Chains A and B, each alone.
Chain A
Amino acid sequence: MPSNNVILAAAGSRKTTSVVNMSMANPTKRILVLTYTIENLDTIRSYFIRDYGMVPPHITLQSWYSFLLQDGARPYQRLVYPDMRIESILFAERKLSFHPSKSKPKTYYIAKGNLIYKDHLSEFVHQVNEKGTGCVIERLEGIYDAIFIDEIQDMSGYDWELIEALMQSKIEICCVGDPRQATYSTSNSQKNSKFKGGRCEGIFRNWEQNGICSIQEMTDCFRSNQQICDHADRIFPNYKPTTSKFFDMTPHDGVYKLKASEVLEYYSQYRPIVLRNRIDSDTMNLDGFNIGVSKGKTFDRVMIFPTQPMLQYLMDGNLTNLKNQSKAGMYVAITRARYSVAYVVKDAKMYNKINLPGYREVESSVL
């Protein structure tokens, strides 16, 4: 068995760059680079182009879903469906009025038009692989020497079974990710639900104990200044503290709160990138990114429109009431910024309770 690695990387630790460099360092190997989101796939591709001009032929870039469909489900689909080709994936949420039985694989996995439900895709691949006594993994052994998986924290359910099976194959596996940034989960399946929502570190520890991988941590942050790192670290006190290796300074660095009345002025002065929870969040008509989509990106400054739970946390600093999804979202949003993070707090009472400097206060103190 080759040496498999799980790299737990703090935000801004250049993990995606390290995935690109790892792939380039092995030009004789056939390497598959996987990641969960299309956005991150684009980022990886752009890094290759930025640093090397192209994605070289020994490297294949693929999203996790497309990988599951093309190299997981379809090659052995006929072990379950003798006469069917799975055309594509149905990404829409599945609304169930009944619980389909696994003994009826057609209704369990497949929607009209021979589309496979996204939440059941990895389960299907797992089933096919079991049925064909490891056929999926064996086939992949013929195609790739190494598989690097970025954004590993986004996996869930049967994804973990597959990754574990890959780790036990001839293929060298390297998973890179940050459980703190688990804003997505690839399926809503109940399988491995105790590892959902950023708790996947537990899986890695199990694997390490069973000797199928070793865990490394990357704690240097090349993106954000130390104030931002410290502010983000507070959400995850159990992780090793992050050390900032970003030493650029501007007159406006750190973490701030903003009154509603200050937003437009602040926006025109600092041009921060607006981060919101959802596309329909009220951002006072400023255009911006959903937090989930912003993952992997770097901005000089961000302006966050926090959700109620986030505001609550900012006021009382109590982590127990903050759900995993909120923690992850907040961590991602904060760690996008190089120089400054500003929270928009529209409610005046709340504004006063939050122990962060207002941006005017600091300016006046500097003056």
Chain B
Amino acid sequence: MLIESIVIKNFKCYTNFELKFNEDLNMLVGNNEAGKSTILEAIQLGLTGLYNYRNIQTEISPYLFNLHVVQQYVANIKAGKRVDLPEICIELYLQECAETAGFKGINNSKRQNTTGVKMLIAYDKGYDLEYQKFLAEPTNITTIPTEYFSAQWLSFAGNLLSSHSFPIKTMFIDTASIRLQSGNDYYLQSVIRNVLEPEERAGLSLAHRLLKGEFAQQPYIRDINDKMQGGSRYLKEKSVSLSVDISQKYGWEGLLTTYVDEIPFHHIGKGKQNIIKIMLALHTSGKQCTVILLEEPENHQSFSNLHRLMQYISQECNSKQIILTTHSPYILNKMGLQKAILLNFTSGQGYSTTFATLKKDTIVYFQKLPGYDTLRFLLADKCILVEGPSDELLLQRLYLDKHKRLPIEDGIDIQSVRGLSFLRFLELAEPLKKDITVVTDNDGDYQKLTTVKYKAYIGNTNFKLCCSNNNSLPSLEQQFLAVNNLATMQTLFGTNYATQGEVLHYMQTNKTDWALSVFESSTSIVYPQYFHNAFQ
């Protein structure tokens, strides 16, 4: 493990947040605005001193600060209270190893004698005069004066850090946006830079300089230079010639381009670009500790490519710590739900949930059936689990009848899962203390459902079981026929059977069809009581 945990204070959406990491893979999931990317940004700041690939010193702005904290400061100043300016502090607690031993000390918010680094963005005492003037006119103050702030990148030993001697390699691969810098892909450059050993980089740089030198020796260029010599008599003894600027230290990065099958890198498909970037990042030599930050690897990937990419990541990630954000339940299931970290906000405070307690067979179950939308389930405020699409449609229609809107608009997510999966999903919900309602047929044995199948959950305040206790009506279709007029139903279905038995047979063999006709009908039907219970 490289990063053991992170503590974030006043950075973007976080006021005071702590997160522990797995030593190998970490998948950050959560709704939009849950702070997933912010965590990657914070890690990058702490490990490189960079924000958006630029030195943080030049990037300090009020928008880096937590909005609430800034507003509080402004309100206090306007109210005449004297308060300190807020500070951003990002601390990374690192695993102690030979390379990081020099970072040990107690200069951290926990006062722990441990190894780590921190990025502190705080008011700089050098601006006391300016700040005094700023405070003199409190009515004009709308935000914090970040021009008087400076960033300090420190180890827990209290010493300033410099990136050239920093022992941990960080690779941030943002697949969502492809940023170009002077025509080249900056991400790819930084990945290549990290893949190459220092001596290889030096060799490349030298070869590039030699190439430029040869340019000047070309007959054409020599002729031109001779001509210029002749014309330079006005310049007195000064000699004028054309050559290539070789002063840039890493000149090759600006001029060389990576080719994939003879096509320049930025001309190949975005999906392929991302795969190459990720693979290069994973393929670094094991000499240095490496942290790979991966933003939404599923972007631009087809299903089969994503599958291959995930396989590659799980094979190659050994000895490297990967922290990724994702919206893909496929990635989540495939890579193992126990590596997921769910982020959410409740009343302005960030929280995280992990699933380390999941049983091995549950993890394997979802790995084998990665199509289940576990992520949608985890992110729903309230979840109703049902047996199939017909239950799902009927429950939605019932809610629509009652409230004139669909349940999802009120944050109630109805998901259909197979009979055996119910318990897997319930296990998944446990760490979240999420409200779960299960709507199910009794299959002719109500007692068995309560005393065996859901026994562990009965009585739990987050759990509700909705099902009929009438064992003579074992299925959904029988339940609905029992409370509705046969003729009304037949009108809805557009059928004309003679007996109830035939209608039941029609419904059982056309499960989704009849439910769809109910869902789409202009008239409402009657619902069994256990359906009503689901929304109470």
Chain B residues with CB under 8 Å of A79's CB are 106
- Residue of B with least CB distance to A142: B101
Cβ of B474 under 8 Å from chain A: no
In the complex, which of the residues B102, B106, B156, B158 has the most CB atoms of chain A within 10 Å of its own CB atom?
B158
Cβ of B159 under 8 Å from chain A: yes
Chain B residues with CB under 8 Å of A71's CB are 102, 157
Q: Report how far A74 CA is from B102 CA in the complex, Å.
A: 11
Chain A residues with CB under 8 Å of B105's CB are 74-76, 139
Cβ of B464 under 8 Å from chain A: no
Cβ of B104 under 8 Å from chain A: yes
Q: Do A30 and B98 touch across chains, with their CB atoms under 8 A apart?
A: yes
0/1 string, A66-102, CB within 8 A of B gives 1? 0000110111111100000110000000000000000
Cβ of B96 under 8 Å from chain A: yes
Cβ of A143 under 8 Å from chain B: yes
- Residue of A with least CB distance to B96: A142
Q: Do B113 and A86 touch across chains, with their CB atoms under 8 A apart?
A: no
Q: Do A77 and B158 touch across chains, with their CB atoms under 8 A apart?
A: yes
B residues 397-423 near A (Cβ < 8 Å) are: none
0/1 string, B105-137, CB within 8 A of A gives 1? 111000101000000000000000000000000
Cβ of A135 under 8 Å from chain B: yes
Given A85-B158, A143-B101, are A74 and B96 neighbors across the interface (CB < 8 Å)?
Answer: no
Least Cβ distance of A344 to chain B in Å?
Answer: 47
Q: Report how far A132 CA is from B102 CA in the complex, Å.
A: 17
Least Cβ distance of B104 to chain A in Å?
Answer: 5
Q: Do A132 and B158 touch across chains, with their CB atoms under 8 A apart?
A: no
Least Cβ distance of A28 to chain B in Å?
Answer: 12
Given A70-B159, A74-B158, A135-B113, are A143 and B102 neighbors across the interface (CB < 8 Å)?
Answer: yes
Q: Do B107 and A139 touch across chains, with their CB atoms under 8 A apart?
A: no
- Residue of B with least CB distance to A140: B101
Chain A residues with CB under 8 Å of B158's CB are 73-75, 77, 85-86
Least Cβ distance of B496 to chain A in Å?
Answer: 84
Q: Do B107 and A75 touch across chains, with their CB atoms under 8 A apart?
A: yes
- Give chain A's interface secondary structure class: helix
Q: Report how far A194 CA is from B107 CA in the complex, Å.
A: 36
Given A85-B158, A143-B102, are A78 and B113 neighbors across the interface (CB < 8 Å)?
Answer: no
Q: Report how far A78 CA is from B105 CA in the complex, Å.
A: 9
0/1 string, B92-103, CB within 8 A of A gives 1? 000010100110
Q: Report how far A75 CA is from B102 CA in the complex, Å.
A: 9
Chain B residues with CB under 8 Å of A78's CB are 106-107, 111
Q: Do B98 and A75 touch across chains, with their CB atoms under 8 A apart?
A: no
Q: Do A77 and B107 touch across chains, with their CB atoms under 8 A apart?
A: yes
Given A78-B106, A78-B107, are A139 and B101 neighbors across the interface (CB < 8 Å)?
Answer: yes
Q: Do A75 and B157 touch across chains, with their CB atoms under 8 A apart?
A: yes
- Residue of A with least CB distance to B120: A85
Number of B interface residues at 8 Å Cβ cutoff, please give it. 15
Q: Do B157 and A74 touch across chains, with their CB atoms under 8 A apart?
A: yes
- Residue of B with least CB distance to A78: B106
Q: Do B159 and A132 touch across chains, with their CB atoms under 8 A apart?
A: no
B residues 131-181 near A (Cβ < 8 Å) are: 154, 156-159
Chain B residues with CB under 8 Å of A73's CB are 158
Chain B residues with CB under 8 Å of A143's CB are 101-102, 104
0/1 string, B206-243, CB within 8 A of A gives 1? 00000000000000000000000000000000000000
Chain A residues with CB under 8 Å of B111's CB are 78
Q: Report how far A135 CA is from B105 CA in the complex, Å.
A: 9
Q: Report how far A143 CA is from B104 CA in the complex, Å.
A: 9
- Residue of A with least CB distance to B159: A70
Chain A residues with CB under 8 Å of B104's CB are 75, 139, 142-143
Q: Report how far A75 CA is from B107 CA in the complex, Å.
A: 6
0/1 string, A30-48, CB within 8 A of B gives 1? 1000000000000000000
Least Cβ distance of B340 to chain A in Å?
Answer: 34
B residues 79-98 near A (Cβ < 8 Å) are: 96, 98
Least Cβ distance of A127 to chain B in Å?
Answer: 14
Chain B residues with CB under 8 Å of A74's CB are 105, 107, 157-159
A residues 47-74 near B (Cβ < 8 Å) are: 70-71, 73-74
Q: Report how far A79 CA is from B113 CA in the complex, Å.
A: 11
- Residue of B with least CB distance to A145: B98
Chain A residues with CB under 8 Å of B154's CB are 85
Chain A residues with CB under 8 Å of B101's CB are 139, 142-143
Chain B residues with CB under 8 Å of A135's CB are 106, 113
0/1 string, B311-353, CB within 8 A of A gives 1? 0000000000000000000000000000000000000000000
Q: Report how far A305 CA is from B453 CA in the complex, Å.
A: 101
- Residue of B with least CB distance to A72: B157
Q: Report how far A233 CA is from B414 CA in the complex, Å.
A: 96
Chain A residues with CB under 8 Å of B159's CB are 70, 74
Chain B residues with CB under 8 Å of A139's CB are 101, 104-105, 113, 157
B residues 30-67 near A (Cβ < 8 Å) are: none
- Residue of A with least CB distance to B104: A139
0/1 string, A329-361, CB within 8 A of B gives 1? 000000000000000000000000000000000
Least Cβ distance of A141 to chain B in Å?
Answer: 9
Chain B residues with CB under 8 Å of A86's CB are 158
Q: Do A76 and B96 touch across chains, with their CB atoms under 8 A apart?
A: no
Q: Report how far A142 CA is from B113 CA in the complex, Å.
A: 13
Least Cβ distance of B113 to chain A in Å?
Answer: 6
Partner of A132, one of B98, B113, B157: B113
Q: Report how far A80 CA is from B102 CA in the complex, Å.
A: 20
Least Cβ distance of A159 to chain B in Å?
Answer: 20
Q: Report how far A79 CA is from B107 CA in the complex, Å.
A: 9
Q: Report how far A106 CA is from B159 CA in the complex, Å.
A: 20
Q: Do A75 and B96 touch across chains, with their CB atoms under 8 A apart?
A: no
Least Cβ distance of A170 to chain B in Å?
Answer: 13
Least Cβ distance of B109 to chain A in Å?
Answer: 10
Q: Report how far A77 CA is from B159 CA in the complex, Å.
A: 11
Q: Report how far A139 CA is from B154 CA in the complex, Å.
A: 17
Q: Report how far A30 CA is from B97 CA in the complex, Å.
A: 13
Chain A residues with CB under 8 Å of B102's CB are 71, 143
B residues 469-510 near A (Cβ < 8 Å) are: none
Q: Report how far A142 CA is from B101 CA in the complex, Å.
A: 6
Chain B residues with CB under 8 Å of A30's CB are 98
Given A75-B106, A75-B107, are A70 and B98 neighbors across the interface (CB < 8 Å)?
Answer: no
- Residue of B with least CB distance to A143: B101
Q: Report how far A12 CA is from B156 CA in the complex, Å.
A: 42
Least Cβ distance of B129 to chain A in Å?
Answer: 16
Chain A residues with CB under 8 Å of B157's CB are 70-71, 74-75, 139
Least Cβ distance of A102 to chain B in Å?
Answer: 21
Q: Report how far A173 CA is from B104 CA in the complex, Å.
A: 21
0/1 string, A124-150, CB within 8 A of B gives 1? 000000001001000100110000000
- A76-B113, A142-B96, A142-B98 given; name 19 further pairs at CB < 8 Å: A30-B98, A70-B157, A71-B102, A73-B158, A74-B105, A74-B158, A75-B156, A75-B158, A78-B106, A85-B158, A86-B158, A132-B106, A132-B113, A135-B106, A139-B101, A139-B104, A139-B105, A142-B104, A143-B102
Binding site for A on B (CB under 8 A): 96, 98, 101-102, 104-107, 111, 113, 154, 156-159
Pairs A–B under 8 Å by Cβ, sample size 20: A70-B157, A70-B159, A71-B102, A75-B104, A75-B105, A75-B157, A75-B158, A76-B106, A77-B107, A85-B154, A85-B158, A132-B113, A135-B106, A135-B113, A139-B101, A139-B105, A139-B113, A142-B96, A142-B98, A143-B102
Pairs of residues from A and B, 10 with the lowest C-beta to C-beta distance, nearest first: A75-B105, A74-B158, A142-B101, A75-B157, A143-B101, A139-B104, A70-B159, A78-B106, A143-B102, A76-B106
